[in-house]
Structure 1
Amino acid sequence: MQFVTKPAALISIFQPFTCLLPPTSAYSALSVRAPPLSLRARERADMHQGRQHKSVHTIPVSEEIRVQWINFIYNGNVPARVGKKLLVCANHFTSDCFKNLGQYSTGLAQKLLLIEGAVPTIRCKTTDTETASTSGLLDRVHHVACQTDPPTTRSFGTQLSMKTLQPHFRSTGTQKTVSCTDVGVGTSALLPFLTSTPIKRPSKRRRLELEEEEEENPLEGSSVDVEEPHDSTYDPADSATTLTESADVTMESSTPVHKTPTYIVYENCLMELFQVCPVCQRECDMQKRRLGTFLSVEQRCPHCEFYRKWNSQPLVGSTPAGNLQLSTAVYATGASFFKLEKIFRAMQLKMFQYDSFRRHARMYIEPAIVHRWKTAQTAMLEQLSQLQNVVLGGDLRADSPGHCAKFGSYTMMDMRSNTVIDLQLVQSNEVGGSYHMEKEGLKRSLALLEERGVTIDSIVTDRHPQIQKFLREADVTHYYDVWHMEKGLSKKLSKISQNKECEKLKKWLQSIKNHIYWTAASSTSVPERTAKWMSILNHVRDIHNHEDPVFPQCLHPTCTSRDKSKWLTTGTPAFCRLEKVLSNKRVLKDVGKLSPHYQTSSLESFHSVILRFAPKNVVFPFLGMLCR
């Protein structure tokens, strides 16, 4: 099975015209080489009759003009179903139908432009061979080829447009006189574009990026040629097909590559489309080449020399777009390449190897992520530099649990907008151990903010001792996150409550947690926070009036408790151990620095999201970890 991005490219584009189009646009959707004799005969017949315009024009949108064009094309016998892409050669219009005929005649313009409301009126004279058939383009070409003996000739590149007819072979010089059979024309038997001198060797073609393991199928190659004109008789002017009116005929889709729908196609179903020649309806030779999810098929008919090349994906430079998109999707969604590889292997879906994935990340994905982050960060810091007081929050995320982390990413966030404004990735061997990574990350972030002119009002962090000392010496207002302090105290009290003599504390654990948050949110000064915090020791003994004048009594309404056994008694082991924990000097000092407004919960949420992209049990390189 293969990924196919443009199934519409497989649809045959032969339409039932009453006149042949110029060779530059006969087959505009695929790289095709049609039977050389019939097309050359038509080209020489057109030149013999003096029609040398190479522009073709699409059917206009206006319904009234459109009906006149269709009636002209089908000579009044309009079928029930009319093709969507009908083209009319410029030779079927009179000279007054063009806007720039003078410029075109003098060589100042390469395209003929029609005036509004122009209608084709000139019909070409057809040769006896062509008028004998009333079928479409495909039938007439087939009919002429069948009524002539195969010419004794060697295969050369034609003078057809290299956009549409791109033979994938090299032209070679020869000294042999080429004999050809004329059909319906009175010109010389020697074709004008063949030469008896050695032909110049064409330039080498670009090759696709080699990124695939040794192929399983011996018919599958390791590279695919990028389509370029390599015929020694190629004229760049022939490929400048002019399309006017309301819409241009183009091989490129207006939809961006990354938004084009993709499908899963089985190989046997795909190969059925290339088994039969669309010209002579006989069996064709096929050659497949694959790179990862990309497949290229070359179809060649040994009977009528029909040739075309089909690619399952567009190319980004020399890299298939599907391969690059798949690597980007794996990287951007935080998925595991190895898990995805197992899924592909189970479904028999072809995929590239991990080395190709890392090369895509190194060459395309990671540089794009760094560029996007730097651009957004510059804009955010520019906005913050215009503000007077900025409240920040900072926290470190280690790449593995415990004290054996290799990387630590310190995140700095604007607390008012909940926006990450800086990320500093610190390696443990830079600072002498994982314990020092948090301080180093904070120092680098503050240095960057100072350089960009950001004025800091306060910082909210956890209670890391090195962070406390550094911000105190830097004279920066420092607040502690309530959740970190509540978590530390709850662990100690939960452990104490496991003791048989202190089981009553289990009934008060949730109340003490709520009291920490209420103390921080309802206080405006350090003495008030301390007084409210110490009131919990009276409350658990059913005492609701306090000696501290800053907070003389509890604010809750007076009520009678149904459970008398929950109250603690002075002097009991449970109360003594609770009092020792809550009235500790360090705890009282930290309570005074509890953040009254912003907390680091947004940072914790951000770090939880990072776990999807950079799990703690997976090792990444430095740039890979920074991007994730």
Structure 2
Amino acid sequence: MTELMDQGLDVEVMATDRSTSIQKIMREEFPNVQHQFDIWHTAKGFRKKMQSKGKKKANEIIHAWTRSVVNHMWFACATSMGDVNALKCRWKSITHHVCNVHEWTDENGEQHRCDHAPLTTQEQKKRMWMKKDSLAFQNLSSLVLDKRLLKDMDKMALFKHTGPLEVFHSALLKYLPKRQAFSFQGMRERCHLAILEHNENIIKRKQDTTKTGQPRFNQVYCKRSKQWVLKKVFTPHTTEFIDILIKKVMDRRRNPNIQFTMPTSSLALPQPSLPPNIAPVPKPPKEAAISSFQSRF
């Protein structure tokens, strides 16, 4: 952060996980930067807590509500538009919704209702509603109304998440695989190539459409939730920056006004001495391995 700001970058918002040490650093060293929590990390942690509660026999209904409650957290943050009070009010409404109560009065006498459309009788029958005097509801309420979570929601109203950063890290592995060593110069230039590719596609790639103009989706089975989910299908990935880069390199090389004083042989990067494999022990003789081979069948 200090290096970026020293280079003249105006940082307005910083999104991290809910680490207390990072909160202290941001509060003391960067008081003028808005510190927000990554929604994905918060939702992931809340999902784990619900799944842990749902393992008990008396709380099996919590497991059935896990996906809906986590989705509600995303919805509450996405629709708060920076209003912390609206975020907290919308988030707490889940304690009424799970009991099939969609209109209620709060402690201040204000009327509230769920944001969804009225449920039909058939839709209400499909749901496993909770009872307010049940142990499962008390356990769920303790998670939803947790004081630390409600306090942390002060830093979730801007709806910041690190999804695009995770996409870049995935693309970075194409140029910088973790199982291979590079020199510092080679690592830096490969990182630059990954940045060029990421910037080209993060701007151009949109959701693909069918011949009739309808947005395209793909059905994918999620092993974690054990359900089929829809994922957007985007336009094809492009690497046009490579052609542009090669053309600029060739144009520069052919420019008679540019004199290259450094010999080409000196530009070769030293190759690191790498082992043929990642095994920590030497490979035994093949004949000895065959003689001691035993099949489990």
Q: Does structure 2 conserve the Cα–Cα contact (< 8 Å) formed by 1:614 and 1:625?
A: yes
Cα gap change, 1:452 to 1:609, in 2 (>3 Å): same
Counterpart CA distance in 1 for 2:183 and 2:27 is 31
Aligned to 1:515: 72
- Map 1:155-174 onto structure 2 (within 5 A): none
Once residues 19 and 187 of structure 2 are traced to their aligned partners in structure 1, the CA distance between those partners, rounded to angstroms, is: 24
**Structure 2 matches for 1:507-586, cutoff 5 A?**
507-523=64-80, 524-548=82-106, 552-559=112-119, 560=121, 561-563=123-125, 566-586=128-148
Contact 1:458 1:479 in 2 (8 A): yes
State the partner residue of 1:495: 52
Distance of aligned partners of 1:449 and 1:580 in 2 relative to their CA distance in 1, 3 Å threshold: same
Trace 1:199-598 onto structure 2 (pairs within 5 A): 446-473=1-28, 474-475=30-31, 476-523=33-80, 524-548=82-106, 552-559=112-119, 560=121, 561-563=123-125, 566-598=128-160
Q: What is the CA–CA distance in structure 2 between the aligned matches of 1:522 and 1:607, rounded to whole Å? A: 28
Distance 2:20 2:111 in 1: 30
Aligned amino acid, residue 490 of structure 1? R
Q: Secondary structure at the match of 1:484?
A: helix
Q: Describe the SS at the equivalent of 2:36.
A: strand
1:111-159 deviation per Cα after TM superposition (whole angstroms, max 9, x unaligned): xxxxxxxxxxxxxxxxxxxxxxxxxxxxxxxxxxxxxxxxxxxxxxxxx
Residues 494, 509 of structure 1: 8 Å contact kept: yes
Q: Is the 8 A contact 2:87 2:157 kept in 1?
A: no
Give the Cα–Cα distance (whole angstroms) in 2 for the partners of residues 614 and 503 of structure 1: 44
Shift of 1:622: 6.8
1:530-581: CA deviations, max 9, x gaps? 1111110111011122334677221222223342660111232211211111
Q: For residues 622 and 574 of structure 1, do their structure 2 counterparts lie closer, same or farther at Cα, with a shift above 3 Å needed?
A: farther
Paired AA for residue 495 in structure 1: S
Q: What are the ranges of 5 or more consecutive residues in structure 1 without an aligned counterpart?
A: 1-445
Structure 1 CA distance, aligned partners of 2:18 and 2:49? 16
Correspondence for 2:181 among 612, 620, 626: 620
Matched letter for residue 620 of structure 1: A
Q: 1:543–1:499: structure 2 CA closer, same or farther, 3 Å change rule?
A: same
Superposed CA RMSD in Å reads 2.4
Secondary structure (helix, strand or coil) at the match of 2:41 reads helix
Work out whether residues 568 and 575 of structure 1, in 8 Å CA contact, stay in contact via their aligned partners in 2.
yes
Relative distance call for 1:469 and 1:538 in structure 2 (3 A) is: same
Matched position secondary structure for 1:620:
coil
Q: Secondary structure at the match of 2:8?
A: coil
Identity %: 33
Q: Secondary structure at the match of 1:546?
A: strand
Contact 1:532-1:551 within 8 A present in 2 as well:
no
Q: Matches of 2:9 and 2:127 in 1, distance apart?
A: 56
Partner of 1:392: none
Structure 1 residues 490 and 625, CA, compared in 2 at 3 Å: closer, same or farther? farther
CA distance in 2, matches of 1:506, 1:541: 15
Q: 1:188-233: per-residue Cα shift (whole Å, max 9, x none)?
A: xxxxxxxxxxxxxxxxxxxxxxxxxxxxxxxxxxxxxxxxxxxxxx
Query: Contact 2:130/2:136 (CA < 8 Å) preserved in 1?
Result: yes
What's the CA shift for 1:598? 4.1
Cα contact 2:53–2:59 (8 A) shared by 1: yes
Query: Considering only CA atoms, is the larger Rg found in Structure 1 or Structure 2?
Result: 1
Query: What TM-score, normalized to structure 2?
Result: 0.55
Name the residue aligned to 1:607. Answer: 169
Aligned to 1:218: none
Closer, same or farther in 2 for the Cα pair 1:589/1:625, shift >3 Å? farther
Q: Answer yes or no: is the 8 Å Cα contact 2:37–2:160 preserved in 1.
A: no
Secondary structure of the 2:13 match is: strand
Contact 2:36–2:160 (CA<8 Å) still a contact in 1?
no
Following the alignment from structure 1 to structure 2, what is the Cα–Cα distance between the partners of residues 615 and 587? 37
By percentage of residues, which structure has more helix? 2
Distance 1:518 1:459 in 2: 21
TM-score (norm 1): 0.27
Q: Distance in 2 between matches of 1:541 and 1:525?
A: 26
Question: Which AA in structure 1 matches 2:36?
Answer: Y
Q: Report how many residues are paired.
A: 182
8 Å contact kept, 1:481–1:595: no
